[in-house]
Amino acid sequence: MKLLIETHNRVRTLTFNRPDALNAFDEALYDATAQALIDAADDPDVAVVLLTGNGRAFTAGTDLKEMAQRVGDPDFVPGRYGFPGLIDALVAFPKPLICAVNGLGLGLGTTILGFADLAFVSTAARFKCPFTSLGVAPEAASSYLLPRLLGRQEAAWLLMSSEWISAEQAVDIGLAWRLCEPAELLDVATTHAEQLARQPISSLIAVKRTMNEPIRAQIDAARDRENAAFAELMGGPANTEALTAFAEGRAPDFTTLP
């Protein structure tokens, strides 16, 4: 199974389970995660959702092999929810969402933290937003959420540079809340999740709703801008060079491209 689901003490833990692919999201994993969030939102026995990954990665974001298929194959069949549906589910999720970042967080593995109410990171974690290195635009309202979370200049570097940042840097700039040793990460995150889960679900939902409603319109607008920019750039010269270079196992060369 590409997504493991377990519920204990009103905490539902969703574990990305494609370790050989660094938990990269293919359409099946997008669909499974979106459905799991929708189900948890509606389940009266679930108070908190905890996201983590199996293996050495939290998630490497979108599966680039499948992205290349999407670009090059006119018969490619998207999933029921896909990437947009997962982001819809994250935006709408009414209960506390906690991320326990166990390893590499690439692309969505970083931008998903914009939707986390609490983020715990292993000292083994690293983060990267590879959008410019793929010749595409930001995603998941990160162009709005990350400047709001980190400040403009930290967000600008993260979104523009395609450089890695360490777990320690992530906590320092406010991308994550707590730094943990790898062996302690899931226990620490689960302890905090269970502490929240002992509170009334109605009150948890009310707190999250009153925090999020003032920014919902800005999130929606950011997604619209990002989607338009992504559609314009996907399949363009820079994105094609990036995907070709990935398939050929070399670094992309954008020096002659716009």
Q: What pLDDT sits at residue 117? A: 98
Residue 33 above 70 pLDDT? yes
- Tens-place pLDDT, residues 55-107: 999 999 999 787 777 766 677 778 799 999 999 999 999 999 999 999 999 99
| Distance set, CA 146 to CA 95, 112, 116 (Å) | 21, 10, 12
Mean pLDDT, rounded, of the chain: 95
Q: CB under 8 Å to 160, separation ≥6 — which residues?
A: 132
Residue 135 above 70 pLDDT? yes
Q: What is the DSSP string of 85-150?
A: HHHHHHHH--S-EEEEE-SEEETHHHHGGGG-SEEEEETT-EEE--TGGGT----TTHHHHHHHHH
